Amino acid sequence: MDATIKSIRPSKPSDRQPESRPAELDPAEFLAAAVRADQPRPARAEAEAAVKTLLAYIGENTGREGLLDTPRRVVEAFDELYQGYHQCPAEVLDRTFGETAGYDDFVLVRDIEFTSQCEHHMMPFYGKAHIAYTPVERVVGLSKLARLTDIFARRLQTQEHLTAQIAAAIDEILKPRGVAVLIEAEHTCMSVRGVAKHGASTFTSRYTGMFRDNPAEQARFLSMVRGLTR
């Protein structure tokens, strides 16, 4: 979510800072897989030993029957939960279709369910992503937007970064006239620990091109996301 925090105290003209735009993401973040094939990584046995250490840390008896296979299961779960590190966002969006009969309005896919993991506590956050883009001549398969969301979600994340990555990847690879991304999610690091506020939702958004520059298009996007048919 793009936001600027302003002081409530009036400032002198000499104190004013020039307006700044949000920093652009490094294309390396979303054009290739996050993990190279030749990147050194711990062996599976080392990962399982680390899980066993954590079990002992919380006071568990790692030798009891119910926990004998837990280190193996946890590492297998990690392979599934974090598979996005090994997937390439650019490859998901690289096939487009030109048979659009001159379609020139935006395409919206809403209610894309996802689950991700908070990079601060390694606890799940989950919710829905709503994605729109205005194509230039060619469109991408609708399922690809869901796949793109999953690639970024299946990495350690913050919701703000996830939102920015999805928008930046679509903007860079498809070169549309504009992109709009809205994500709503519940964070278990807030609902089951800490302040323990169940049901609290977090909303983040990112707009590029015509959606950023035209408030009417933003409003139309939000209206369709919140449509009466939901």
| Catalytic residue check, 159 | yes
User: Could you confirm whether 189 is annotated as catalytic?
Assistant: yes
Determine which one of 24, 76, 119, 137 is catalytic.
119
d(CA 132, CA 46): 43
Q: Which is the catalytic residue, given 60, 184, 186, 189?
A: 189
Catalytic residue among 157, 159, 165, 218: 159
Distance of alpha carbon 42 from its chain centroid, rounded? Answer: 26
Q: Which one is catalytic: 87, 187, 217, 218?
A: 187
Residue of 29, 91, 121, 186 with catalytic role: 121
- Catalytic residue from among 24, 83, 113, 120: 120
Instruction: State the Cα–Cα distance between residues 230 and 169, nearest whole angstrom.
Output: 27
Q: Which of 37, 203, 44 is nearest to 128 (CA)?
A: 203
Specify whether 187 is catalytic: yes
Of the residues 87, 117, 118, 172, only one is catalytic, namely: 118
Answer yes or no: 119 catalytic. yes
Is 88 a residue of the active site? no
- 158-170 b/e (C-beta count within 10 Å ≥ 16 → b): ebbbbbbbbbbbb
Q: What tokens appear for 127 in the block? A: 């919710």
Active site residues: 118-121, 159, 187, 189
